[in-house]
A and B are shown apart, each in its own frame.
Chain A
Amino acid sequence: MTGSRTTAVLDRDGLDALVGTLRALGRTVVGPTVRDGAVVLAELSSADELPFGWGTRVEAGRYRLEPRADGAAFAHTTGPHSWKAFLHPQRERLWSADRTADGGLSYTEEDAPQPSYAFLGVRACDLRAIAIQDRVLTGGRYEDRGYRERRTGAFLVAAECTEPGGTCFCASMGSGPAAEAGFDLALTELLDADGHRFVVRTGSDAGEDVLARLPHRAADPRADTAAARDAVAGARERMGRAMPPVDLQALMGASLEAERWDDVAARCLTCGNCTMVCPTCFCTTTEEVTDLTGDHAERWQRWDSCFDLDFTHLPGGPVRASARSRYRQWLTHKLSTWYEQFGSSGCVGCGRCITWCPVAIDITEEAAALHDELADRLRRQERTEQER
């Protein structure tokens, strides 16, 4: 994919046509929709199912839908789902094994055809998250073949954020709110005197091709393009939270024995919610499933969480037995050791882990507290050295 090329404007009919065109191209269109009191990601059959007229109010440990009078479709913040549920599904069969008549074994790799997805309404933070999972699952010596097939076939329609949530901090992670790369089309929703419309930028040849099939008009540089830019710039200023502007990789590396881990461990339920909602958490475990004949076995992969006691099971017991060590593993991996393993941070600032934590643990607050503790410790060390 290359940088954006064409900028145009779609109206509500254009958005309808976008969903219809993608479906006509044989794609499974997935996008935000209201279900069970939240904006979730699900297959859409038409643009009508988008959360028109719904906003969200989020805080640490709190998520509420709120009706909006303006009828906006993309004024909500990230929900409990992320696109990894589609690209790196919760459960997936890896291979099957069968006993053969001559007493041998035969193995069959899973090669069911993968769906051809179109994701509608991907936030900038989630575009970054997808790029991160690309590196984890396909960027190394071995690639996750199923992931690669689903990913290379996916068409991404970004939706830039104009209404950030109370737990959002993408601006401080450098991953949003503007969609800069990694999309086929990027939408910016505008609701002003010129009407309800979507400024659309193309990011790939496939995006150009789809746009050409939609009813659209050219964008006015001031009324549309600049207005979209301003709306996104405004969102940048209204982020609910921010990561402390420090070298997080070094901070975590220097904080492995911090007292703050005991403090957070006293609150953390080790429920794993944060790992389930995180758009980059990729860890999986495997299960052996056999049928009643005993001649057929299947190897299944499913999401796992580093908060699970069994995650580090060894014959002598779990390596990370304490909540302190499990929370430390999650946070230091996300913000620090991910760089060593995969060349980037594992956090995109989407805020989901804060919103969906049942006890309102806030990753930005924990990072700030670790920073304060380290600064304190360094000051004390300096004083001790001066006194010598």
Chain B
Amino acid sequence: MTCAPVPYRVVRARTETADTVSLTVAPAGPSGLPPFAPGQFAMVHAFGAGEIPLSTSCIDGPELTHTVRAVGAVSAALCRLRTGDRVGMRGPFGTGWEVDRAVGGDLLVVAGGIGLAPLLPVVDAARAAPHAYGRLNLLVGARAPADLLHAHRLCTWATSPGPPHCLVTVDRPAPGWRGRVGVVTSLLNGARFDPGNTTAFVCGPEVMIRALARDLVHRGLPPHRVRVSLERTMHCGTGHCGHCQLGGVLLCRDGPVTGWDRAAPLLSVREL
């Protein structure tokens, strides 16, 4: 038995792509949940549909933004919500990116697909304290140009000197696309970082995380400075339902963000 959700009100619902919506929610009553750190997640309840774990793509005081792709019954229900609708929220759960521990070094933020969402608060945190960090790189990959999330922000960043130094690539170009085509790892050569003094923040499909983390370690980043956010089924957020196990790691408790030093041996075993 866990604490019941806290009601939140949808303040804005912005369509990102054909199947993805950014929902900004604020406490419906006088009090909300404790503050979220970038990388932590909430269990978000869509009335009558169910509850799913969602990380935050923007943290603005008590207002939280979740970028949701409609892939199942609950996420589809959340994507249908309009301004003024209500959701239930529990959290914050799990480990965060711990951006503070990267102070003094270069930052490499690497996102694949919807993986950009939980990384945007890292970019926001680094941009809010430009003197605390070295160079800020944002490498983004998507399936196709139409799947790029927060396209207007990416467009602005990619065409300006930054920070962030932003590079974007797609797997499949579309008519009119004049950017790069290829996997996100191909962007590493264009990134500006000193491998001996860099922290990487990586989120995306597992196959991308594996390829990218191995490449970064090969380039000289210590594995523990490659921070990855992993995904497994979750029903509770409190370490009790057992679904999010990845070997000895309970991802809702010991993750979702973990160092590559811990993740590498687990992600190298098929179907673990």
Residues of A that sit less than 8 Å from B by CB: 92, 94-95, 97, 99, 103-110, 136-137, 140-142, 144-147, 256-257, 282-286, 288, 290, 294, 297, 299, 301, 304, 306, 311-316, 319-322, 324-325, 329, 332-333, 336-337, 339-341
How large, as a class, is the contact surface on chain B? 35 or more
Report whether A97 and B88 are in contact in the complex, using a CB–CB cutoff of 8 Å. yes
Report whether B1 and A107 are in contact in the complex, using a CB–CB cutoff of 8 Å. no
Residue among B3, B47, B232 making CB contact with A99, cutoff 8 Å:
B47
Cβ of B250 under 8 Å from chain A: yes
Q: How far is the CB of A325 from chain B (nearest CB, A)?
A: 3
User: Which residue on B lies nearest to A305, using beta carbons?
Assistant: B242
Report whether A142 and B7 are in contact in the complex, using a CB–CB cutoff of 8 Å. no
Instruction: Tell me which residues from 222 to 272 in chain B have a Cβ below 8 Å from any Cβ of chain A.
Output: 231-233, 235-236, 238-243, 245, 247-250, 253, 269-272
Inter-chain contacts of B48 with A (CB < 8 A): 288, 290, 294, 297
Report whether A107 and B4 are in contact in the complex, using a CB–CB cutoff of 8 Å. yes
User: Which residue on A lies nearest to B1, using beta carbons?
Assistant: A146
Q: How far is the CB of B262 from chain A (nearest CB, A)?
A: 11
Report whether A329 and B47 are in contact in the complex, using a CB–CB cutoff of 8 Å. no
Inter-chain contacts of A97 with B (CB < 8 A): 4-5, 45, 47, 88
Report whether B248 and A284 are in contact in the complex, using a CB–CB cutoff of 8 Å. no
Report whether B271 and A104 are in contact in the complex, using a CB–CB cutoff of 8 Å. no
Report whether A312 and B233 are in contact in the complex, using a CB–CB cutoff of 8 Å. yes
Inter-chain contacts of A297 with B (CB < 8 A): 47-48
Task: Give the docked Cα–Cα distance between A282 and B238 (Å).
Answer: 13
Cβ of B159 under 8 Å from chain A: no
Q: How far is the CB of A153 from chain B (nearest CB, A)?
A: 14
Report whether B232 and A312 are in contact in the complex, using a CB–CB cutoff of 8 Å. yes
18 sample A-B contacts, Cβ–Cβ < 8 Å, listed by A number:
A94-B2, A97-B47, A107-B88, A109-B1, A109-B3, A109-B4, A142-B239, A144-B240, A256-B269, A283-B241, A284-B235, A288-B50, A306-B242, A320-B271, A321-B271, A325-B272, A329-B245, A333-B245
Q: How far is the CB of B107 from chain A (nearest CB, A)?
A: 28
Instruction: Tell me which residues from 24 to 55 in chain B have a Cβ below 8 Å from any Cβ of chain A.
Output: 28, 45, 47-51
Report whether B242 and A282 are in contact in the complex, using a CB–CB cutoff of 8 Å. yes
Task: Give the docked Cα–Cα distance between A324 and B269 (Å).
Answer: 13
Inter-chain contacts of B270 with A (CB < 8 A): 325
Residue among B72, B84, B250 making CB contact with A315, cutoff 8 Å:
B72
Residue among B28, B238, B250 making CB contact with A341, cutoff 8 Å:
B250
Report whether A95 and B5 are in contact in the complex, using a CB–CB cutoff of 8 Å. yes
Task: Give the docked Cα–Cα distance between A321 and B270 (Å).
Answer: 10
Task: Give the docked Cα–Cα distance between A257 and B2 (Å).
Answer: 37
Apart from the given pairs A146-B1, A286-B51, A322-B271, 7 other A-B contacts in the complex at a CB distance below 8 Å = A103-B84, A105-B86, A105-B88, A288-B51, A312-B233, A315-B72, A341-B250
Q: How far is the CB of B150 from chain A (nearest CB, A)?
A: 20
What is the total of A-B residue contacts with beta carbons within 8 Å? 131
Q: How far is the CB of A257 from chain B (nearest CB, A)?
A: 7
Task: Give the docked Cα–Cα distance between A140 and B94 (Å).
Answer: 13
Inter-chain contacts of B49 with A (CB < 8 A): 288
Residue among A108, A110, A137 making CB contact with B240, cutoff 8 Å:
A137
Q: How far is the CB of A169 from chain B (nearest CB, A)?
A: 24
User: Which residue on A lies nearest to B207, using beta carbons?
Assistant: A316
Task: Give the docked Cα–Cα distance between A109 and B72 (Å).
Answer: 26
Report whether A314 and B232 are in contact in the complex, using a CB–CB cutoff of 8 Å. yes
Report whether B71 and A315 are in contact in the complex, using a CB–CB cutoff of 8 Å. yes
Inter-chain contacts of B253 with A (CB < 8 A): 140-141
Residues of B that sit less than 8 Å from A by CB: 1-7, 28, 45, 47-51, 71-72, 84, 86-88, 205, 231-233, 235-236, 238-243, 245, 247-250, 253, 269-272
Inter-chain contacts of B1 with A (CB < 8 A): 92, 94, 109-110, 144-147, 301
Inter-chain contacts of A92 with B (CB < 8 A): 1
Report whether A95 and B4 are in contact in the complex, using a CB–CB cutoff of 8 Å. yes
Residue among B2, B6, B232, B243 making CB contact with A142, cutoff 8 Å:
B2
With A97-B45, A105-B47, A314-B231 already in contact, the answer to whether A256 and B272 are too (CB < 8 A) is yes
Task: Give the docked Cα–Cα distance between A97 and B6 (Å).
Answer: 10
Task: Give the docked Cα–Cα distance between A321 and B272 (Å).
Answer: 10
With A257-B269, A325-B272, A337-B247 already in contact, the answer to whether A105 and B4 are too (CB < 8 A) is no
Report whether B4 and A325 are in contact in the complex, using a CB–CB cutoff of 8 Å. no
Q: How far is the CB of A100 from chain B (nearest CB, A)?
A: 9
The 10 closest A-B pairs by CB, nearest first: A340-B248, A283-B242, A325-B271, A146-B1, A142-B238, A95-B4, A107-B4, A337-B248, A315-B71, A109-B4
Report whether B271 and A319 are in contact in the complex, using a CB–CB cutoff of 8 Å. yes
Task: Give the docked Cα–Cα distance between A288 and B47 (Å).
Answer: 9
Task: Give the docked Cα–Cα distance between A314 and B2 (Å).
Answer: 23
Inter-chain contacts of B235 with A (CB < 8 A): 284-286
Inter-chain contacts of A301 with B (CB < 8 A): 1, 241
Inter-chain contacts of A140 with B (CB < 8 A): 238-239, 253
User: Which residue on B lies nearest to A140, using beta carbons?
Assistant: B239
Interface centre among A104, A283, A319 (most CB of B within 10 A): A319
Report whether A107 and B6 are in contact in the complex, using a CB–CB cutoff of 8 Å. yes
Q: How far is the CB of B84 from chain A (nearest CB, A)?
A: 7
User: Which residue on B lies nearest to A287, using beta carbons?
Assistant: B50
Task: Give the docked Cα–Cα distance between A288 and B149 (Å).
Answer: 30
Q: How far is the CB of B186 from chain A (nearest CB, A)?
A: 23
Inter-chain contacts of B86 with A (CB < 8 A): 103-105
Task: Give the docked Cα–Cα distance between A305 and B72 (Å).
Answer: 21
Interface centre among A97, A304, A322, A336 (most CB of B within 10 A): A97
With A107-B4, A110-B1, A337-B247 already in contact, the answer to whether A313 and B47 are too (CB < 8 A) is no
Report whether B241 and A304 are in contact in the complex, using a CB–CB cutoff of 8 Å. yes
Q: How far is the CB of B203 from chain A (nearest CB, A)?
A: 15
Task: Give the docked Cα–Cα distance between A210 and B3 (Å).
Answer: 35
